[in-house]
Amino acid sequence: MKKLLLSFLFALVIISCKNDPGKDTVDTIEETPTRTNDPLTTQIAFANGFENFEEVKQMNFTFNVKVNDTLRTERAWKWYPQEDRIELTEKGEIFTYINDGDLEEAEKPIDQKFINDSYWFLFPYQLIWSEYETEHIRNAISPISKEQMQQLTVRFEGDGGYTPGDSYHIFFNDDNMIREWTYESSGGRTLSTTWEDYETFEGITVAKTHKSEDGSFELFFTDIEVIK
């Protein structure tokens, strides 16, 4: 699968939800940046059922965003990973393309939406699929619950994808399940949300709900179906 770099589509929300993911850390000893597929990132991916993904023939999900209780975004996806085929239904229109790394100009905006939405949907799997550097803090304070958790910063480098230089500060416990994260754009804008309402579909574990600290921003998934 080609390298994917997320392009967030919520600049207004990000600007209004500034956070400093590192200022409350209680132990900043760890560790030199490492490349993709180190043991910790692999453990996080497998805790979410990564080993079952190769059997998936079709995956359906609807990506929804509410801001101040108003539904702003609703996109229904059908993903056929064994064929690299992707179908989007949005505002009554259906778009289909092959995600083979050779996109037509008209397909790129759809691909950008898919990258954004699928990162939210299966970010733990990107820890195996994508290329990045990491920094691990064993004892940190999470941005929303203010609980002590492990923190892993995932930083995408290079000139590929849509937004190189973006970082994700993920917060998790010993079960290797993400509980919160902070997205930080290359320009320094941030957005922190929860990872909650986990459910497993044919071995694929998904956090169905993500909320900002004040609840004004909610991103959630519906119509999830996994077909093997």
Find out whether 88 and 73 touch, Cβ atoms under 8 Å.
no
Q: pTM of the prediction?
A: 0.84
pLDDT tens per residue, range 114-153: 999 999 999 999 999 988 899 999 999 999 999 999 999 9
User: What pLDDT shows up at residue 157?
Assistant: 74
Could you tell me what percent of the chain has a pLDDT over 90?
A: 72
Give the pLDDT score at 32.
42
Cβ(32)–Cβ(180) under 8 Å? Answer: no
Domain ranges of the chain: 24-227
According to the model, what pLDDT value does residue 188 have?
A: 82
Confidence of residue 100 (pLDDT cuts 50, 70, 90): confident
* Fold topology of 24-227: outer membrane lipoprotein receptor (LolB), chain A (2.50.20)
For residue range 143-201, what is the model confidence (pLDDT) as tens digits?
999 999 999 999 987 655 566 678 999 999 999 999 999 999 888 899 999 999 999 99
Q: Which residues have CB under 8 Å from 186's CB, separation 6+?
A: 163, 164, 165, 166
pLDDT, mean of residues 10-31: 46
Contact criterion met (CB below 8 Å) for 206 and 223: no
pLDDT of residue 213: 97
pLDDT of the residue at 226: 99
pLDDT(31) > 70: no
